[in-house]
A = this chain, B = another copy of it.
Amino acid sequence: MKLYDYWRSSAAFRVRIALNLKGLEAEREYIHLRRKDQRSDVYLGVNPQGLVPTLIDDNGTRVVQSMAIMEYLDETRPAIYPLMPRDAEDRARVRAVSQAIACDIHPLNNLRVLRLLGNELGLDEDARNEQWYKHWVNEGMEGVEALLNDGGAGQFCHGNTPTMADVCLVPQVYNAQRFGCDLSSFPTVMRINEACLDELAFRDALPENQPDKE
């Protein structure tokens, strides 16, 4: 198995956690996003969307998009550490929390968006951080906190073992903290984030613990 990875990509961070939880080893190739390696012809041959991560399974199957990769890993390795519950209602809840992060927060605050706001639209760093980044973290985390408090959460986002929802939560909290966001209004999010970071599978996947860290 092979993972195209970048230490600071939140989407790759998710897949690193998922692989760790499932005890799967993957060879790594690092795609340097700040140098725009993801737009090279070679990498576009691997991932036509030009984004990180990409997973190549042992049988050659290529999977892109972090949530699709996690569900694929869970469907093809159901016996090892489930990332998704069995019941349809529970699965819907885990997917909803995951998507509340991966669709409603992360896309607004990633590198390419901040670059466009700065380089093309002329927003200064203060406007980008205070009026944009923190706004979406606050609004998004308010929604996630409310979903979590609405039933179903245990020690983790769903019950007492980590699922795909926790795998999405931790990289988002990590990013928000890196940008200096105040997350004290989201006690359930923060409690679960701490519970996750007690687990080696999550800590080992942290950006600062990656070989390509700069």
Q: Interface of A with B (CB < 8 Å)?
A: 44, 48-51, 61, 63-65, 67-69, 71-72, 75-76, 88-89, 91-93, 95-96, 99-100, 102-104, 106-108, 112-113, 116, 120-121, 123, 127, 131-132, 135, 139, 143-144, 146-147, 149-150
- Oligomeric state, in number of copies? 2
If A64-B96, A68-B96 touch, whether A113 touches B103 (CB-CB below 8 Å) is: no
Q: Which among B49, B102, B131, B146 is the interface contact of A147 at CB below 8 angstroms?
A: B49
Where chain A touches its partner, the secondary structure class is helix
When distances are taken between beta carbons in the complex, the residues of chain B under 8 Å from A112 are 139
If A51-B143, A121-B127 touch, whether A107 touches B103 (CB-CB below 8 Å) is: yes
| Nearest B residue (CB) for A49 | B143
Docked pose: A108 CA to B75 CA in angstroms:
30
Cβ-defined contact, B121 with A131, below 8 A: yes
When distances are taken between beta carbons in the complex, the residues of chain B under 8 Å from A68 are 92-93, 95-96, 99
Docked pose: A121 CA to B132 CA in angstroms:
8
Cβ-defined contact, A121 with B120, below 8 A: no
Cβ-defined contact, A88 with B103, below 8 A: no
| Nearest B residue (CB) for A139 | B112
Q: A49-B143, A76-B88, A120-B135 are in contact. List 18 more A-B contacts (CB 8 A).
A: A44-B146, A48-B143, A48-B147, A48-B149, A49-B147, A50-B143, A50-B146, A63-B92, A64-B96, A68-B95, A72-B91, A99-B102, A102-B103, A104-B107, A108-B108, A108-B113, A116-B132, A121-B127
